[in-house]
Amino acid sequence: MADDTIFGKILRGEIPCDEVYSDEQCLAFRDVAPQAPVHVLVIPRKPIESLRSGAPEDAVLLGHLLLVAARVAKQEGLDDFRTVINSGAGAGQTVFHLHVHVIGGRPLAWPPG
């Protein structure tokens, strides 16, 4: 379950994080293994395993996560940035609690991996 992951522990305050944004729906914090000068994760407080696990009733929350990602990018001084949502182990998801990566601060190549 998503609430049993490291992100669930961060949300419960059991593990500290370098918080950059918080509201009643989500938390944003710096990635502990950054892939760029700015690498922030935006996670919902609701335990959703992955984007493919989202339900129609999650539509407003999912949109909020993207708006927060853009807000965080601006707050971090990024004009250009990448957002990434991995869904499933084969796509690179390693923590099974939905999260949006906000990555920037250097040129980013395509394809990413």
- From the candidates 39, 97, 99, 101, give the one annotated as an active-site residue: 99
| Cross-strand partners of 27 | 22, 43
Residue 93's region, left for phi above 0, alpha for psi from -120 to 50, else beta, is: beta
Residue pair 30/104 in contact (Cβ under 8 Å)? The answer is no
Tell me how far apart the alpha carbons of residues 110 and 63 are, in angstroms, rounded to a whole number: 25
Q: Is 39 a catalytic residue?
A: no
Kindly list the catalytic residues: 99
